[in-house]
Structure 1
Amino acid sequence: MSGKRKKKINADRLTPRQENFAYLVGYEKYTYSSAYRKAYSSDKMKEQSIWTNASSTAKIAKVSNRIDYFREQRLKEERRKFKWTISEAESELRTVLEKNKQDLIRAEENGESAKHATNDAIIRAVDALNAMSKRIEDDENELALRKAKADAETAEIKNRLLKEKIGDEGEKIIFDINL
């Protein structure tokens, strides 16, 4: 292997300190300055120098990419640990709602006043279900908007490519473009 090739490969790699810094920031959620203190010898450095060096280190493209990689890995692990789904949450909320509605009906049938906790539980369950529904609706709307924007961009690109392909004569021809 030539010397230039070896330098290119090593230029793409992080130093052990950069790797440690990226891991501490991306996976362990350290601040830049805390990660810098832990990854580098900074005992004799002023705070301002630590902040500056930490920020500069985080801005290095390969370090920044590695931070993103570690963040993604942390999120994947958190998702694996957390197996609560929207369906499960909805089911539990509906159970709470039904149980407390039955308690409310039973109290009315017995001529008693409903417990404050029962009313609170019903209101909170309904609020939580509404919030879940709104969030799902917002996510669906955002996805639809992103799809529409992507479709519009695709149409613009197709139009530009057609114009480039047919040149000036394209102004005289009408195309029916199906997206």
Structure 2
Amino acid sequence: MNKQEQAEKDYMAGIKYKDIAAKYDVSINTVKSWKNRHGWHRGSSKKDASPPKRVHTKPEKGAHKKEDTSDKLTPSQELFCQLVGGKRMPLYRAYMIAYEESEPSVSTAMTNSSKLAKEEKVALRITKISEEEAAKHEWSLDKVIDSLTFLHDEAKADVYQYGVRKANTDAMLNSLDRITNLLHISDEGKRAKAEADIAQSKANEVNSNGSDGNIVIVDEWSDDDDTDD
């Protein structure tokens, strides 16, 4: 294949006159002459018609690209989900990493990350990753509840055995709070019962100490400071 035939193939591929001329070390007029002499055409009904130019719009700084409406996540979305669901990273921080190419500001990341996390396919992916991470470490809601229940029961037993102290009451109430939150229990009856148990335990302790006649007990549950002899 000679130089003119190679140049024709380049022309048919849409390469510009000046680029063809430079490639084959000839003038632009020579390329045009070859084109006219041999009747080169690029497949358009209009002679010498050049392919339409592609216009690329630069994305607005700090804004993530318009997301695909299909179920498939973009690479940036997937990374965002991995950081949030797998690494437990704050939304805005995960967004700044996943979309660092657009250089989002912190305020932009906070706004956009919240919206992104609410998109159905993104939210489902984050949930799935979180479940996979929990399964990998053999954690489950039941195991967490069992551990907190154990802590609650041990703290309660300690209250009965050694009396009311800040350490055991805090442990008991904190574990109860966490169990209530995890199970989304709105009824305050269980907490009220636990607090009643503590109050009864304290009352029993007061009665037990007061029975020997040697220990003076100040009743913190009444408004007066009278004590029994």
After TM superposition, the score normalised by the length of structure 1 is: 0.43
- Relative contact order (C-alpha < 8 Å, sep 6+): which is higher? 1
After TM superposition, the score normalised by the length of structure 2 is: 0.35
